[in-house]
Amino acid sequence: MDYLSLIVLLPVLSFILLVVFGKRLGDKSAYLSILAVGTAFGLSVKALLDVMGGARADLTFTWLTVGDLELTFGLLLDPLAGMMLVVVTFVSLLVQLFSVGYMHGDKRYGWFYACLSMFTASMLLLVFSPNFVQMYMAWEGVGLFSYLLVGFWFEKRSASNAAKKAFMVTRVGDLGFAIGLIILFLTAGTLDMSQVFAMKFAPETASLIAILFFFGAIGKSAQFPLHVWLPDAMEGPTPVSALIHAATMVAAGVYLVARAYPLFEQGPAAMEFVAIIGTITAFMAATIALTATDIKKILAYSTVSQLGYMMMGLGVGAFAAGTFHLMNHAFFKALLFLGAGSVIHAVHSQEIFDMGGLSRKMKITSLTFVIGGLALAGIPPFSGFWSKDEILLGAFDGGYMGIFAIGLLTALFTAFYTFRLIFVVFFGKARGHHADHVHESPAVMAVPLILLAVLALSTGLLGSPFTGYAYQSFILGGGFEHHTNYMVMGLSIGVAVLGIFGAWLKYSTNLLPSNVLSKNNIVYKLLVNNYYIDEIYEFTLVRPTHAIARYVLTFDQKVIDGAVNGVAKATARIGGGLKYVQTGYAQNYALVMVVSVVVLIIWSFRAMELF
Amino acid sequence: MIPLSYYLILSGVLFAIGMAGVLLRRNAVAVLLSVEIMLNSANLNFVAFSRYIAPEQASGQIFALFVMAVGAAEVAVGLALILMIYRNMQSVNLDQFNIFRW
Amino acid sequence: MNDIVSHVIFFALAVLAVGSGVLVVTGRNLFHAAMFLGLYLLSIAGYFFLLNADFIGIMQVFVYVGGVVVVLLFGIMLTAQLTNVRLTSAMEQRWVTIVSLVGLVGLLVFVIKDTVFRISALAPVEDTISFIGRMFMTDYILPFEVISVLLLAALIGAVIIAREEGGK
């Protein structure tokens, strides 16, 4: 099990080398980083195989002891961690391969790969965490590198603003996480996971801590109401969006809930909270995606919505379903984002109505994208269906009918907006002015697409009856009983087909009147403007904060600087007044001496009580 | 015998007179003259004390002799300095020497 | 000595000393001031004789009256400001000076009046010259040597300070 530390250390090493030598290596930086991540992937697969064979690992070493508190660095390997390791390293590897083509010629190529490497390392460290302190540290680490990568093209004002927004919004969530950590430490006396999960907590305490942890997840996984940073984060390069905002970092929140599941299970109120937030998020984001026109924004809201599904699954108690969807989504969403990147690379635009009919010229991209779309919409035998169906089944079985209904409706919308995107971009007539010189992407970009498409086809089957529900048994570490509910399955398939059909009607044919949903409709306005949430935040939070900051700035400049400068000015003035003592005449000074002597003598006589 | 206190008070008065000259005169040489007055009043003090307190030891007289020697040396050097100043500034008026003024 | 005679001599010399001192300090004519300094020094010499310090008295006349006054006269003549030497000092510190000096004298009087001195009844040294000479060669030999060095230094220093530029 010694090789486990290499999984984390190799990307770190790549980062260090690229920071130092990145400029000199230029385009060759990619090879170093890909080598590191590739090796890490290989080792992760080995780790997964070991775990499937029953091995577990919990290596720790102490790095700080403060009183009773021991802070340790550790590597925890269990089924959940094993699954995540493979997902993270594989997607990271494919994204890095894709970027060789996509980022070709960028002047900060080396730094890009350095950040990708270190991001991967932080995410892996997070996955490996055996205690909450390490998890929080890695949590912050991924947040930092997300900031750096979103703001990679920081010459663009919108990109640097988006990076700041991402960091600050997730910070709000992180605050909840930190408070949760403090309360946990105060009640449990330890932050080591195995120790914490062995304890019994009162339901209120467990709920409180779990909900606070979930705040962190709300931030990192872009749940309502902290989802606002994710669409803006699309300012980053598309491979970054694929890696961070589809497959890995946003999954960290889901991973946190999954890891801390024993704690959540002790607090039913927290579980309900998770489910409700997840459901709201899933529905809301799907509705916004219905009207968006930027291809990356559509995918971003889709990610938010799918993350909501995962939270929904975890919240209703379907641990296996939620984590299964996490894995499937990582692959097909990364596929969709990289496909979008391929399209953007060809068309030089991100607006779907600038594109059209791309399937003719970009065969590989279109095919893989459609596969990803089918997975997202939830059509069997593609991966998305299996996990989404399990989640809905979990809601149904748990008696959460409201959640079930909204989940179904959201699935309808999901299918609709996905295929709206596909029909507009890949089929129909060419719209934009680039139609003539559109061409398929180079192999280095196409191969990752193909690999991910294969996975989108196959990973779902791991949790299906065809493999005897192998995934569920694996992740739960034991036997798993599945009772198939054909009604739920039928409903979920039916809803997906309905959505695809509706999109086909609207965007592929002219059968529907064009103002079924006119642009002046109030619902449309609400959706296109993302429910005005950003505007609400702007007025209620951002403006007051700026006002306070301005006030504090004035206070600092006038009062504090004024006091300091005032001291200096006072000293100067006193000096200016005292300088007149220096008359330059020795006789004046001699007089002062005489007078002083007389005064001293009189004074000492008084002290001696002579008079 | 004349009481010792008479001598002491007299020497104090003479000292004050000399000090007044030091502090008030504007001519450098006049200041030197006043310094001599002060030195001599101190000498008077020494010799008076020696005569009244320990006459068999004449130590005050010996000290007065030393004061005289030093005073003479001081006048010599002081006048040399005044001559230099006069050569450079064409004046020995102390009012004009205020280079260290603010 | 007869008591009354010594008192008379004392007060006569006092008048002489104080008077010439005041005239030195307030003299407008610098040459006259130097002359009055000589008179002052002579009166102090008289006091020395009154106090049985005959050697010191003679030395006073030799060194001060004969040496220092002459040197000062040379200085006065070389700096060529004999007449119209005004009295008032810079920055008008006249009143402060007078007040503080009067205070000083007042304090001295205050202290001296109430002090009881241990007047010795022993006889003063008869032959002061040989006594002082012997003292110089035995008890006070170190200060004696040091004083000679000091005088040498003052002599050389004065010559160097006051010589013409470029001269040897």
Strand partners, A295: none
Q: What is the ipTM of this complex?
A: 0.92
- A580 in contact with B, Cβ within 8 Å: yes
Residue reference for tokens 């950003």: A534
Q: Is A192 helix (H, G, I), strand (E, B) or coil?
A: strand
Q: Per-residue pLDDT for A515 more than 70?
A: no
Beta strands (DSSP E) in A359-417 are none
Task: Chain C: list its partners (3+ Cβ pairs within 8 Å).
Answer: A, B
Interchain contact, A594 vs B19, CB within 8 Å:
yes
How far apart are alpha carbons A295 and A353 in whole angstroms? 9
Select the residue of B19, B23, B101 nearest A584 (Cβ to Cβ): B101
pLDDT at A466 over 80: no
Q: Do B27 and C22 touch (CB under 8 A)?
A: no
Q: Which two tokens stand for residue C41?
A: 């020094």
Helices A249-259 and A79-102: crossing angle in degrees, nearest 10, is 180
Query: Which pLDDT tens digit goes with each residue over A208-230?
Result: 999 999 999 999 888 888 888 88
Q: Other CB atoms closer than 10 Å to residue C71's CB: what's the count?
A: 16
Phi-psi region of B58 (alpha: psi -120 to 50; beta: other; left: phi over 0): left
* pLDDT for the residue A560: 84
- Determine, for residues A588 and C96 on separate chains, whether the beta-carbon distance falls below 8 Å: no
Q: Any CB–CB contact under 8 A between A585 and chain C?
A: yes
B23 vs A contacts (CB less than 8 Å): 587, 590-591, 594
Q: Are the Cβ atoms of B68 and C63 closer than 8 angstroms? A: yes
**What count of other Cβ atoms lies within 10 Å of the Cβ of residue A349?**
17
**B-chain residue closest to A585, CA distance:** B98
Contact C101 A591 (CB under 8 A): no
| Distance separating alpha carbons of residues A559 and A554, to the nearest angstrom | 8
Residue A55 or residue C161, greater confidence? C161
Output the pLDDT for position B38: 96
Query: Is the pLDDT assigned to residue C87 strictly greater than 60?
Result: no
CB contact under 8 A, C51 and B24: no
Residues of chain B found within 8 Å of residue C22, distances taken between Cβ atoms: 17
pLDDT interval class at A517 (50, 70, 90): low
C31-81 per-position pLDDT tens digit: 889 999 999 999 999 999 999 899 999 999 999 999 999 999 988 888 866
Q: Any CB–CB contact under 8 A between A582 and chain B? A: yes
Residue C97 Cα, gap to closest chain A Cα (Å): 7
For the ranges A47-56, A61-70, C105-114, the lowest mean pLDDT is seen at: A61-70
pLDDT score of B43 more than 90: yes
Residue A342: the pLDDT is 87
Q: How far apart are CA C148 and CA A59, in angstroms?
A: 91
CA–CA separation, A377 and A374 (whole Å): 5
> How confident is the model at residue A372, as a pLDDT?
92
Kindly report the nearest CA distance between residue A591 and chain C, in angstroms: 7
Across the range A322-349, mean pLDDT stands at 88
Interface test with chain B among A580, A585, A593, A597, by most B beta carbons within 10 Å: A585
pLDDT attached to residue C93: 77
Among A579, A582, A591, select the one facing B23 at the smallest CB separation.
Answer: A591
Which tokens is C141 given? Answer: 């030999």
Residue B67: closest CA among chain C residues belongs to which residue? Answer: C147
Cβ pair C64:B36 closer than 8 A = yes
pLDDT digits (tens, 9 = 90+) for A472-489: 777 777 666 777 788 888
Per-residue pLDDT reduced to its tens digit, A90-130: 999 999 998 888 888 888 888 899 999 999 999 999 998 88
Q: What is the pLDDT of residue A435?
A: 63
**pLDDT score of C82:** 58
Determine the 3-state secondary structure of A380 from DSSP. coil
Q: Do A119 and A146 form a contact (C-beta atoms < 8 A)? A: yes
Using one digit for the tens of pLDDT, what is the confidence trace for A266-283?
888 889 999 999 999 999
* Spatial distance between the Cα atoms of B96 and B26, rounded to a whole number of angstroms: 10
Determine the pLDDT at residue C58: 94
A594 touches chain B (CB under 8 A): yes
> Contact A579/B102, CB-based, under 8 Å?
yes
What is the per-residue pLDDT for A197? 85
Residue A144 pLDDT greater than 60, yes or no: yes
CA distance A583 to chain C (A): 9
Q: Whole-angstrom Cα distance, residue A5 to residue A87? A: 17
Would an 8 Å CB–CB cutoff place C90 in contact with chain A?
yes
Half-sphere CA count of C40, side-chain side, radius 13 A? 32
Q: Where are the alpha helices (DSSP H) in B2-58?
A: 4-24, 28-53
Overall average pLDDT of the A577-599 stretch = 88
Instruction: Return the residue matching tokens 């009147």.
Output: A513
Q: Which of C64, C86, C156 is the mutation pick for testing B, counting most B CBs within 10 A?
A: C64
> What residues in C contact B41, CB-CB < 8 Å?
44
pLDDT at A320: 87
Q: Which two tokens stand for residue B47?
A: 């010799």
The confidence band for A374, taking pLDDT boundaries of 50, 70 and 90, is very high
pLDDT of A267 reads 85
In the prediction, which pLDDT does A456 show? Answer: 85
Are residues C161 and B24, on separate chains, in Cβ contact within 8 Å?
A: no
Taking CA atoms, what residue in B is nearest to C99?
B20
The rounded Cα C13 to chain-centroid distance in angstroms is: 14
What is the CB neighbour count within 10 angstroms for residue A486? 7
pLDDT at A411 > cutoff 90: yes
How much of chain A, in percent, has pLDDT values that exceed 70? Answer: 95
> Chain B partners of A583 at a C-beta cutoff of 8 Å?
98, 101-102
Higher per-residue confidence, C25 vs A438:
C25
Measured between alpha carbons, how far is residue A287 from residues A400, A437, B85 in Å?
A: 21, 34, 100
In this prediction, residues C90-95 reach a mean pLDDT of: 70
pLDDT at B41 over 90: yes
A586 near B CB under 8 A: yes
pLDDT at res. C81: 61
Quick: pLDDT tens for A74-100: 888 888 888 888 999 999 999 999 888
Best mutation target, B82, B92, B95, B101, to test chain A (most A CBs within 10 A): B101
A601 near C CB under 8 A: yes
* C84 φ/ψ angles, rounded to the nearest 5 degrees: 60, 35
pLDDT, average across residues C82-108: 76
Residues A7-47 have pLDDT tens digits of 888 889 889 988 888 778 777 778 888 999 999 999 999 88
Q: Which residue of chain A is at minimal alpha-carbon distance from B26?
A: A587
CB-based contact, C105 to chain A, within 8 Å: no
Q: Which one of A580, A592, A601, A608 would you mutate to disrupt binding with C, by most C Cβ within 10 Å of its Cβ?
A: A601
What pLDDT shows up at residue A567? 93
The predicted model gives A137-162 an average pLDDT of 90
pLDDT digits (tens, 9 = 90+) for A172-201: 999 999 999 999 989 888 888 888 888 888
Using an 8 Å CB-CB cutoff, list chain B residues near A581.
Answer: 102
Q: Name A507's Cβ contacts closer than 8 Å, sequence gap at least 6.
A: A419, A420, A423, A424, A428
Higher per-residue confidence, A553 vs A524: A553
What DSSP string describes A47-79? HHHHHHTT--EEEEEEEEEETTEEEEEEEEESH
A585–C91: do the CB atoms touch at under 8 Å?
A: yes
| Rounded Cα gap, residues A143 and A140, in angstroms | 5
Chain A residues within 8 A of B97 when measuring between CB atoms: 584-586
Mean pLDDT of all residues in B6-20: 95
- Mean pLDDT, all residues of chain A: 86
Residues A244-267 pLDDT 10s: 877 788 889 999 999 999 888 888
Confidence of residue C86 (pLDDT cuts 50, 70, 90): low
